[in-house]
Amino acid sequence: MLPQKQAEEAIVSNFNETDPEGKEEQQPIEDDQSIFNVKNLLWHGGSAWDAWFSCSSNQVAQVLLTLPYSFSQLGLLSGVILQIFYGLVGSWTAYLISVLYVEYRSRKEKEGVSFKNHVIQWYEVLDGLLGPYWKAAGLAFNCTFLLFGSVIQLIACASNIYYINDRLDKRTWTYIFGACCATTVFIPSFHNYRIWSFLGLGMTTYTAWYLTIAALVHGQVDGVQHSAPKKLVLYFTGATNILYTFGGHAVTVEIMHAMWKPQKFKYIYLLATLYVFTLTLPSASAVYWAFGDQLLNHSNAFSLLPKSGWRDGAVILMLIHQFITFGFACTPLYFVWEKVIGMHDTRSICLRALARLPVVIPIWFLAIIFPFFGPINSAVGALLVSFTVYIIPSLAHMLTYRKASARQNAAEKPPFFLPSWTAMYAINTFVVVWVFVVGFGFGGWASVTNFVRQVATFGLFAKCYQCKPPPPTAAHQPAIAPPHH
């Protein structure tokens, strides 16, 4: 790789700058010497546990609140089956990404390329293994995915805080949280996910079990109905939201690169998914059992649970987690924009913050235009996640190892449970066909149709999407009849 090209790519690929001093390359033995150092304890993590926390906390955030809504579209049986199915398929494609990362890195290091001060990203892996067209596709899908991921976080913040304080409508809360999240432009970069991932997973674990216990304690509402599935549009909309749930691969390569031994990542995503199942399956099932078809008009599970200190605690924890996730999702977009306008090398934090504001403004604007919490998850899942997370990694793996020489010299051989290259090609082909037809095809049709219906029903710039109607004013209240004597 030419030095000039490497320098240019380094500008874009600073997402999750684990340590610009190259500490991610150190072995755990060196880090053990200062294990009681608070700075190392909080920031300089590169173990398999750190990667597990990062994968687990990145998989479940605001989508935890929309899974009961998906169950009301799919029905309980389909909801459980599709969660397990897409969880396993997502773990498989994360494994493929890890294999391609190791392949790319081993090839470049044989050429003498050093990654001491360089964080590898997914689009660079595609570029190095398959060429510039794949690089462009990876960059386009990842950036668009992260853009709308940030929009979803902002919508979720406004949607959640409304259930604590409904004196302001959701659109006003979006203005407020947009301004709060815009402060992330002052963060030049971040070294590690360790403390945030640990806290984030604790927050989502609390929220998931709050939803489960609160729904069971509340019991079934009077006349509860569980009529799903009854419409194809709703069925495939719910299915693509679950596809989105297990599509947290936008930062998989960055998490791997932060590890001391990235080769250990292979099965971490699967272990993270198994833990996530303990959060998503009980909470979605319990809330759907309690409220049934009412969820079809309440895409945020908080909206149906009674107000309490426990619920307010869950809302606050999710707000903090979503604020953190907004910053993480926006950081790579900040770096790409800085490179485009030639401001990446600027040392002044204030100048860089001003330069980054044009990235936040369209995110803020989109969140105000389309405040549709559940439907936008499904649309992003069908149109972006299907390619970014499932189709592109599977195709890239097949093309990278299409030649016998590539398979013979592969840095990572097929896994022990599937030792045949033919079997790997068969699974990859199935994933590509299934996700393209069911996820992108039917899911895209259903989610876009549902999204358009939301726009037609609530309109753009909806002031308070899926809010309870305001109580009648005194002028409209019936007069109280005097008591009879």
Model pLDDT, residue 426? 95
**119 Cα distance to chain centroid:** 20
CATH topology of domain 45-458: Amino acid/polyamine transporter I (1.20.1740)
Whether residue 428 contacts residue 394, with contact meaning beta carbons closer than 8 Å, is answered with: yes
Whether residue 24 contacts residue 259, with contact meaning beta carbons closer than 8 Å, is answered with: yes
Q: What is the dihedral of CA 283, 285, 286, 290, to 10 degrees?
A: 140
Q: Which two tokens stand for residue 61?
A: 């955030």
pTM of the complete model = 0.79
Model pLDDT, residue 15? 35
Model pLDDT, residue 473? 47
Q: If DSSP codes are grouped into helix, strand and coil, which group holds residue 465?
A: coil
Q: What's the start-to-end Cα distance of the chain, in Å?
A: 96
The full 3-state SS of 378-433, as one line of letters, equals HHHHHHHHHHHHHHHHHHHHHHHCCCHHHHHCCCCCCCCCCCCHHHHHHHHHHHHH
The pLDDT profile of the chain, 485 residues, written as one tens digit per residue, is 444 444 434 433 433 333 433 444 444 434 444 444 555 665 556 778 888 888 888 787 778 888 999 999 999 999 999 999 999 999 999 999 999 999 999 998 888 887 776 667 788 899 999 999 999 998 888 888 888 888 888 887 877 787 777 777 777 888 888 888 788 777 765 455 567 778 888 999 999 999 999 999 999 999 889 998 888 888 988 888 888 888 766 678 777 877 888 888 888 999 999 999 999 999 999 999 999 999 988 888 888 898 889 998 998 898 888 877 787 778 778 877 877 787 766 778 788 888 888 888 888 888 887 776 566 767 777 888 889 889 999 999 999 999 999 999 988 888 888 888 999 999 999 999 999 999 899 988 988 887 787 766 655 556 555 566 555 544 444 444 444 44
Model pLDDT, residue 114? 79
